[in-house]
Amino acid sequence: MRCYCWFNNVAIAVEKLRSEKLVSKVLIVDIDLRLGDGTRNIFAQAPEVVYYHLDSREGLEQCLEDNRDCDLVALSAGFDRHIEDWGKTLKTEDFAEIGKMIASYACDYCGGRYFAVLEGGYNQQVLADNVKAMLKGLDYKNHKLN
């Protein structure tokens, strides 16, 4: 079996928070083009950590719907799915929408607790705009905390 992502910041951060008992259940959303098999494998025996690799926006909506009992969302924010990058599937505005979905979910179910880590993204002509769009979507000040 071939693994691309043996070490990563999201897994390290989540495990640190878990070991310090600062979180109970964590949802990791990975929007990078490649499956974060390292993250998935690290938490394979930890049912309190849900790993979701983006297959579609509808899939993300279902994942968020199915995991309302998490107290933190960690986002592996890869931008190589952009239409002008390797993945050729997402537009810049899709990253803003995904960010809004994550922030809204976190504000509704996690007390506003979420973070993102930059992953892939190789087309330097569009990367900055994609990151900016994601950050705009993630801006929790635009979302209501319950």
Q: At what angle do helices 57-66 and 92-109 cross, to 10 degrees?
A: 10
For 87-139, the pLDDT digits (tens) are: 999 999 999 999 999 999 999 999 999 999 998 899 999 999 999 999 999 99
**pLDDT tens readout for residues 26-43:** 999 999 998 888 899 999
pLDDT of res. 87: 93
Q: Which two tokens stand for residue 4?
A: 């691309």
Q: Which domains does the chain have, with CATH numbers?
A: 9-142 (3.40.800.20)
Give pLDDT tens digits for 38-69: 899 999 999 999 999 998 989 999 999 999 99
Question: Six-digit token pair at 108?
Answer: 């509704």
CB atoms within 10 A of CB 15: 15
Q: What is the pLDDT of residue 2?
A: 55
E strand residue ranges, the chain = 26-30, 49-53, 72-77, 114-118
